[in-house]
Every structure is written in C-alpha cells, then in structure tokens.
Amino acid sequence: MSAAQPTMTSTTALDVASIRRDFPILEQRINGKPLVYLDNAASSQRPRAVIDAIRSYYETDHANVHRGVHTLSQRATDAYEGARDIVRNFINAGDTREIIFVRGTTEAINLVAQSYARPRLGPGDEILISALEHHANIVPWQLVCEHTGAALKVIPIDRHGEIQYEAFERLIGPRTKLLALAHVSNALGTIVPVDKFIARARELGVPVLLDGAQAVPHGPVDVRALDCDFYCFSAHKMCGPTGIGVLYGRRELLEEMPPWQGGGDMILTVSFEKTTYNQLPWKFEAGTPHISGAVGLAAAIRYLQSIGMERIARYERELLAYATERLQEVPGLKIIGTAAQKAAVISFTLEGIHPHDIGTILDTEGVAIRTGHHCAMPVMDFFQVPATARASLAFYNTFEEIDRLIAALERARSLLS
Amino acid sequence: MDLKDLYRDVIVDHNRNPRNFGKLEAADSHAEGHNPLCGDRLTLYVNFDGDRIREAKFEGSGCAISVASASLLTEAVKGKSREEVRRLFDQIHALLTQHDADVDLAGLGKLAALSGVREFPARVKCASLCWHTLNAALSNATQPVSTE
C-alpha cells in the first residue's frame, strides 16, 4: 500500500499508547520487527496489573481455601470468594452462588452438558445449536446425544455468517430441550443477535446457554438483561490467566443439577453410607480450585473496568472499520464473515496463497495472526475453504498496527502470488 | 530466519505449477494424507512397474510448502525401487528435522530446496505430509495418514 496513505486515528478517548505500556509482552521485537499481536481471539495478553496480582497473591497470601482457621487460609479464601463477587458484578448476575469457577469456556459447557442435559434428555429430545459454533459448543452436545439418544439439530448460517432466524423458528419446538449459541463467533466475528433467539426460546420454555468466550472481552455483558440460563467464558481471552473461566447459571437450574465431579470442597459430610453435597457454588467446584487464577481474573476485570467496557467496544469498532476498509484494498483478499454486526475479528483468504503461508510470512514481519480452521471446521466447510487467516483485534491494538498487517500482506503477495 | 530460505524459487515454482497434479486412473495404490492443523489434504497415487514406481501423481489442496513438496516428490520417486524410496524418505526426514543431518544435498537434486523448512519448525509437517502419505501408499495402508 502507498506509504502516503494517512493512518486513521481514533476519535475515542482511549489513550492506547499508555494502555500499551501496561502490557510488558507488547514491548518486544519478533524476528527483528516490533510485535504486532493480532491473535487476541485465540488468547489475549496480560497487563502488569494481572501479573502483579498473581505474584503478590503467591508471595503474601497463598494457602488452601475454605479449610484452615489460620490467617493465610482466610486471606486466600477472601481473595477467591472476593473474585467471585467481582465476576458476579462484572456480568451483572444477581447472586454469587450463580458463579461457578471452571477451567474455561469448554469446561463450563461440558459441565452443563453432563450435569444439566445428560440426566434430563432421552430419545426424541433435541439440542439446538448453530452452524457458527466453536467445536467446544458442538462436541459436548454430541457426547450427550450419544449417551441419551437425543438428537443434535443445527441452525444453518447464511453467506454473511449470520444465523438464519427463519430456520431457527422452524427448528425450535416441543422437542427442543436446550438452545446453545455463540454470543460472538470466534471464526467470523459475527455478533449473534441473541436477544431475539432467547425471547423465542423463552416463549417455548427452552433453556438457553450462551458461549460468551468471544463476547465478554469486547463489550459489556449483562446476563440478567440477556435473560439466558447459562453463560460461559474464559479468563485468558480477557487479559486474565489461562486455566480459569466461569459458568454463570440461573440458580434454580443449578440447584436441581447434580454435581459432575466429586472430591473435596464439593461435600458437606462424607461417610461410606451417604455423602451430602455442598451448597452452590461449591457443589460444582471439587478439589482445590485455581485460586491464583481467580485472583488474576479479578485483577483483569478491574483493569478492563478501569478502561470501561463501553469504551473498549467503541474503540474496537473503529479499529474493525479501519481494518476492514484497508484489507478490502488488498488485491485478491476476500473477507469471510460479513455480518451486519461484528466483533473485531476478521477472517480472510488471499487468492493463490494458502493461509498457512500467510501466517509464516506475517510472522517474519513481526505480525502474529491465527491461521487454520479456528476450531470451527463446520464453518470452514460452509464457506468451502480449508482454512482462513484471522486477524483478531484488542483495545491495545493501534491503527498503525493495521497498516503493518497490510504491508506484511503485500509482502506475502509479492513473494507468492 | 530468512523467508527466501523457505520459499526458494524451486518451491514457489512447484507451488504455482505443481507437476503430476491430478488423479491417476486405475492406480496400483493410493493413500490419503491430512494435516488437521492447517487443513492440508492430499491424495497420492502410485503405479508400479514390478518393484519400481512407474508413475506418481497427487491431488488435493494445501499450503505452498506441502504442494511443492508433493510435486517434487512425484518427480523424484519416478523409476525408483521401493528400497530406494525408503532410503530417500529417510534422507528427507533427516533433512527436515536435523540441523546436522548427514545428507548429500547435491544428490537430492531439486529436493534440496526443502532444506530451508527446518528453520521453520511449524512448517515441517507441511513438507513431510506427502512423504508419510507415500509410505502409506507403498504399504497399501487403508487408514488415512494424519500428521497429528
């Protein structure tokens, strides 16, 4: 692209230069070039506040939770349960008992599949998902169907990557026992208009699970306003640690669900004749939990809130608009996923150049993107591509970095096409 | 890391114009290879003349490295016996994975262009997929080959 093209700047009052200084990892060079990290949908980076919170926890407060009467155990318990309340507040749940700490979105969905769906479903019942889903919102339901004889139904998507609402209306019915949808597509960036899907499901009394892994990091989420029954997300995509995530569940449903893992912490009393289970949320948290993960997640939420989720969403929309415009100028580039409402995720193909080659060439220019099927093989099949290249943006990315992406793509073209 | 070391002229050429590309009707043997990480898929067809490969063709889709490697393979194995192909496989494997590999680069001819791949560990599987698939075709394996 011509160097004369002026780089667009943000009109949002977000001091990105200052924000970037909060992220130590962004300060490095990769293959001799300043790192341009555009793989945020796979995993985001961590601000120093999160790293420091975890270190400080281990240096001063660590012990096991819910066990000892000693001071450190109390501190650890306060930090862990305090984190739960910070999560509750962040997604506007009504009750900390509705916040279950899990390993991540995948485990959250599996918990609901095994503890909610599996005991309830049988032959003739249906679970409804969409063709947009990440494998984590497909395979757990296939496992349930194998065990129960229930059937998995899939709402098709259209060529823009939008879930077809008319098809949904035809597919949902008296047999439907659960609707499980992505809030935002990881592969295409589609923001699913979940409100209308949930409203229809409500009318029919069908419970709704939302996979919020790609939604929570990029804008405000209010589970009560959404009126969903389950909401799942991962800390590591929202500047928090790996290995921890959240299942929000409506309390009435969680109360009825049996534990899905047994062990310490999830019990009240144990004898060989009879074990009584702990109350919510601990009923679903067997064994020593990821305490430092919860501490890190709480720090990540505080950090995101200090910037403001609305401002993050606004800035990322500007970045997305700019990146979309610039990418469309690249000859032979085709954006896969053109929904009306998108998060800052852009999947694309480049004529004559396989995504894997794009990924390697961009890496030598310091630009990190994801290439492959993005754990959404059915989406790739629908668009009849083996893979795509995907640039996924975060609030710490800049307009200049988009220009670097474009320049690196031009290098790929000059080399291979 | 120098990109030109990975995308050498031979590689770029064989990616743009893959040799022996297409289905071999009535093949004596064929095998499928799949790299789930990047979605590369190829089918390799082989015809024999006694113990020797008379013709090899491939079809499928993949990145520049996997297409070029398969294209180079089909040229290189033509006329070779099973034992010669096995030795060639070992050499290519060493070339792709070992820095101090004892490989006669001059003897490899155009295949030596694959030596740049080892500097890019994430791409070794792209180059080796077709070679593993060839092994499967030679042993008449019925299960598709996967790099995972």
Residues A290 and A320 in one domain: no
Question: Taking 60 as the threshold, does the pLDDT of residue A152 lie above it?
Answer: yes
Pair A276, A252 in one domain: yes
User: Which domain range does residue A408 map to?
Assistant: 16-46+308-416
The helix (run of H) or strand (run of E) holding residue A371 is: strand A370-372
Q: Which of A287, A306, A325 finishes a domain?
A: A306
The pLDDT-based confidence of A12 (bands split at 50, 70, 90) is low
pLDDT at B140 over 90: no
Q: Are A226 and A126 found together in one domain?
A: yes
The secondary element (H helix, E strand) that includes residue A140 is: helix A139-148
Give CA angle at A372 (B148, B140), nearest 5°.
35
Residue A100: helix, strand or coil by DSSP?
strand
For chain A, what is the domain count?
Answer: 2
* Closest-approach residue (CA) in chain A for B60: A386
Q: Do A416 and B6 touch (CB under 8 A)?
A: no
In a domain, A10, yes or no: no
Question: Which of A29, A356, A365, A380 is most worth mutating to test chain B (most B CB atoms within 10 A of its CB)?
Answer: A356
Half-sphere exposure at residue A16, Cβ-oriented, CA atoms within 13 angstroms: 21
Task: Measure B50 CA to nearest chain A CA, in Å.
Answer: 37
List the beta strands (DSSP E) in A139-286: 151-155, 176-182, 208-211, 230-234, 245-249, 267-270, 275-277
Q: Is A372 in contact with B39 (Cβ distance < 8 A)?
A: yes
Let me know if residue A137 belongs to a domain.
yes
Residues A283 and A382 grouped into a single domain: no
Instruction: Check if A228 is active-site.
Output: no
Note whether residue A22 is domain-resident: yes
Residues A289 and A388 in one domain: no
End-to-end Cα separation, chain A, in angstroms: 16
Determine, for residues A356 and B126 on separate chains, whether the beta-carbon distance falls below 8 Å: yes
For residue A190, the Cα-to-chain-centroid distance in whole angstroms is 13
Contact A356 B38 (CB under 8 A): yes
What pLDDT score was predicted for residue A7? 53
Indicate whether A179 and A235 sit together in one domain.
Answer: yes
Q: What is chain B's mean pLDDT, rounded?
A: 91
Residue with tokens 């049988």: A122
Chain-centre distance for alpha carbon A89 = 18
What are the residues whose beta carbons fall under 8 Å from the beta carbon of A20, sequence distance 6 or more? A26, A396, A398
- CATH code of residue A75: 3.40.640.10
* Domain membership flag for residue A219: yes
Which of A306, A335, A351 is the last residue in one of the domains? A306
Residue A246 lies in a domain: yes
Query: Is CATH 3.90.1010.10 the classification given to domain B3-23+31-139?
Result: yes
CB contact under 8 A, A356 and B1: no
The model's pTM: 0.93
Q: Which site among A30, A347, A354, A417 would you substitute to test the B interface, given the most B Cβ atoms closer than 10 Å to its Cβ?
A: A354
The full set of domain ranges for chain B reads: 3-23+31-139
Tell me if B113 sits within 8 A of B10, measured CB to CB: yes
For residues A215 and A89, state if they share a domain: yes
- Closest residue in A to B2 (Cα–Cα): A364
Q: Tell me: the pLDDT tens digits for A248-307?
A: 999 999 999 999 999 988 989 999 999 999 999 999 999 999 999 999 999 999 999 999
**Interfacial residues of B (vs A; Cβ cutoff 8 Å):** 1, 3, 6-7, 12, 15, 36-41, 61-65, 67, 120, 122-123, 126
The 10s digit of each residue's pLDDT in B49-107 is 999 999 999 999 899 999 999 999 999 999 999 999 999 999 999 999 988 878 888 88
- C-alpha B71/C-alpha B20 separation (Å) is 7
Q: Do B64 and A361 touch (CB under 8 A)?
A: no
**Residues of B whose CB is below 8 A from A364:** 1, 3
Q: Are A288 and A315 members of one domain?
A: no
CA angle B53, B55, B57 (to 5 degrees): 125
CA–CA min distance A416, chain B (Å)? 7
> A370 and A286 share a domain?
no
pLDDT of residue B144: 66
ipTM of the complex: 0.88
Tell me how far apart the alpha carbons of residues B59 and A313 are, in angstroms, rounded to a whole number.
Answer: 45
Q: In this model, does residue A88 exceed pLDDT 90?
A: yes
pLDDT in tens, A208-230: 999 999 999 999 999 999 999 99
| Whether residue A210 is found in the same domain as residue A353 | no
